[in-house]
Structures are given as C-alpha cells and as structure tokens.
Structure 1
Amino acid sequence: MKTSPSLLPLLRSRMQGELLALVLLHPEREYTITELADACGVTATAALREVRRLSEGGILDERRVGRSRLVKARRDTPLYQPLSDLIAVTFGPMPLLAEALSGLEGVQDAYIYGSWAARYHGEPGPPPGDVDVLVVGTPDQDALFDLAERVSRQLGREVNVHRVAPEAWAGTTADPFLTSVRERPLLRLDLEQETR
C-alpha cells in the first residue's frame, strides 16, 4: 500500500486518504468500486477492502445495484463533518483542484508542487501552509484567480496558482522558477478523469 505519513499520520495509507477525499468531498455522488480503484491507482480488491472497513466504521454507505456495488459518504453520522473537514485540509487538494481545473477553458495540464507535493510524496516536514499549483495553458488569469479563491475556501488554506505557457513548460528553459519546480516533487492532476 502507498504510505503517506506526512499528510495525515492518523491514516493507514495514502490510498485511504485519497479514497476518503474522493467520496467525502463529493457526498452527493455514488462511486463504483472500479471508479474508486482507478482514481486511487490500486486494484479493485484493495479498494473493496478499504470500502468495507470504512462502511463497517459507519463512514461510508454501500448498496448493490445488480452486480455493482455503489459507495457514497454517510452524512447522517456525527463523524461526517469533522472528518470531511480534516480530509479536505489534508488530501482535498488533488480531487478539488482537478475538478475545478478540468472545467476551465485553456487548461492543458496542471500540477501541484511545493510543500504539499513534497508531503504527499512522503517527505517529512511541517503541514503545508498553502497549495502551489502550476497550470500549463492559456486560461484567463481572472478565472484562475477566482478558481484559486473558491478552492482556498473549500480547503481552508491558500491556493497559489501560477500559469505557464505550454511551450515554456515543454521546452528546456533557463527559467529558474520552472527549473526549481521540475527538480522538486511534482504531482500531476488527472484532469481527464474529472471530465468522465
């Protein structure tokens, strides 16, 4: 299992945090086991095991429709709101930013970099105070600012968005900022998955 003690040491694995972020931060939606497994990069068996644990703990609700098992957050429990808030602050940047950026015209690619990406990849250190996002493309700068403000409120921490032209990101450049971003932990946001 993927471990990530640096984002939220209370969780057993990074996969558990990713699964909780997906389900708790989209409480109106039901997910199949296959969708959860694909989103977390694990096997369906691993996702099913985690869903069973969380269902037995009263955090998730599952139901069968034919051969499919549908999973969603249980909002009728006192655990929902505090756990959802904790997950938003720790594992929320990936799903919330991917969702927000996938609908924005001109975005070709997007990455989280900086301290949040470093903690996600297991580098020890203090909890990140903000989330740094690199957007490759030509989206409207005002729209990016509005998006950052909206996601900042959802996450309870500042989101800083830096836009870069596709040719600057694709090429070998002497730009010290881009060199620094490339040399440190980088987490690509799956924008295609959000559009499905």
Structure 2
Amino acid sequence: MQAQSRLLPLLRSPLVGELLAWLFLHPDEQYSVTELAHRLHVSQSTISREVDRLSEADVVREERRGNLRLLRANIDNPLARPLGELLALTYGPVAVLGELLAAVGGVDEAYVYGSWAARYAGEQGPPPRDIDVLIVGAADEDDLADAARAAEQRLGREVNVHQVSARAWGSGNDPFLTSVRARPLYPIDLSER
C-alpha cells in the first residue's frame, strides 16, 4: 500500500490525489482507464479499483461504451468546487504543468523541486507556498513566463520557473543544480506534445 499523502493528508494515497486532480482540473474531458493508467504510471487494475471507490462515492462519473470505461469528475456533486480547489492547491502541478510546458518549444525536460516535491516524496513539513519548476532546455523566457502565469491562475499559488541549459544540467558543476539534485525532484510529463 502506498504511503499516506503528505500534500493532502485527507486522501488515502498520492495516487488518489493525482487521479482526482487530473479529473477535476480537466472537468470537461473524459478519460479511459487505460489513458489514466498510462498517464499516472500504474496498472489499469489499480486505476479501476480507485475509480470504483470514487464512483461509489459519486465523486467520479463513468460511462461505458462497449468495453471502454470513460471517466470524468462529477461536477454536480456539492463537493466538486471545494474539492477542485483543494486538488489545485495540492496535486495540481501534476495535472497542469505538463500540458502547459508541453506547448512551449525548447523545453527538453522539466521538474518540480523544492517544498512541493519534498511533500510529494513524503517528507514532513508545512504545506508548500509556491511551486518551483526547473526547465532544462532553451525555451523562450517570455513563453515560460506566460506558462507560469497560466499555471498560477489554475493552481492558486505562485509558480517560479528557473531555466538551465542541457549542458549545465548534465555537467554537475553548478552548486545550485547540485543542491536541487540532492533533494526530491518530480519529473513533469511533457508527453502532451
């Protein structure tokens, strides 16, 4: 069994937080169990078990099309708005940053570091006040600033972007990057491209 969520201790596990954040921060979309399993890097049976619980609680709606099980957030549930706000503040980076950064040319890799990554990794401490994002590549600074502002709007907190070249990231000579690597890092999935 996974460790208890440090980002939102009300949840059984970080996976439940990621799953709910993805659904509630994309409320107009439907996703198959297969898509969600791939996106969250777990088995389809794991997603199915979690969705069974969430569907039974009327937090998630499902639609069947043959063997395909399509899922979406139940935005008619009275908990939907406050739950969506909590999820944006806690697991939102998982659901939001990848799609925003995938649209920015020149981003080779991206990571969340700092307090959010530490809480995600299970380290105790106060809730993160901001989101620190490391970009590896040669993206346009204005495009990154636009993506950070869009993320701030959706996540309800400051998003700080720090960009380094692929050469600097690979060299290991920079004291800042050495300290970033020594602490938890959460890789951002850029596969939305």
Q: Same fold, TM exceeding 0.5?
A: yes
User: Residue 81 of structure 1 aligns with which residue?
Assistant: 81
Q: Secondary structure at the match of 1:150?
A: helix
Deviations 1:95-124 (Å, cap 9, x if unpaired)? Answer: 201110001111111000000000000000
User: Residue 155 of structure 1 aligns with which residue?
Assistant: 155
- Distance (whole Å) between structure 2 residues aligned to residue 190 and residue 148 of structure 1: 16
Amino acid at match of 2:51: V
- Does residue 128 of the first structure (1) align with residue 143 of the second (2)? no
Q: Which segments of 5 or more consecutive residues in structure 2 lack a partner in the other structure?
A: none
- Distance (whole Å) between structure 2 residues aligned to residue 171 and residue 34 of structure 1: 38
Contact 1:106 1:138 in 2 (8 A): yes
Amino acid at match of 2:190: L
TM-score (norm 2): 0.97
Q: Secondary structure at the match of 1:191?
A: coil
TM-score (norm 1): 0.95
Q: Secondary structure at the match of 2:98?
A: helix
Amino acid at match of 2:128: P
- Equivalent pairs counted in the alignment come to 193
Cα deviation for residue 188 of structure 1 reads 0.7
Contact 1:112 1:186 in 2 (8 A): yes
Q: Secondary structure at the match of 1:135?
A: strand
Please show how residues 1-196 of structure 1 align to structure 2 within 5 Å: 1-173=1-173, 175-192=174-191, 194-195=192-193
Question: Structure 1 residues 2, 39: CA separation in 2 closer, same or farther (over 3 Å shift)?
Answer: farther
Contact 1:4 1:119 in 2 (8 A): no
- Distance (whole Å) between structure 2 residues aligned to residue 56 and residue 5 of structure 1: 21
Amino acid at match of 1:74: N
Cα deviation for residue 172 of structure 1 reads 2.5
Question: Structure 1 residues 129, 188: CA separation in 2 closer, same or farther (over 3 Å shift)?
Answer: same
Cα deviation for residue 5 of structure 1 reads 2.9
Deviations 1:12-70 (Å, cap 9, x if unpaired)? Answer: 01110010011111111111111111222221111101111111111111011111100
Contact 1:7 1:91 in 2 (8 A): yes
Amino acid at match of 1:180: S
Q: Which segments of 5 or more consecutive residues in structure 1 lack a partner in the other structure?
A: none
Cα deviation for residue 4 of structure 1 reads 4.1
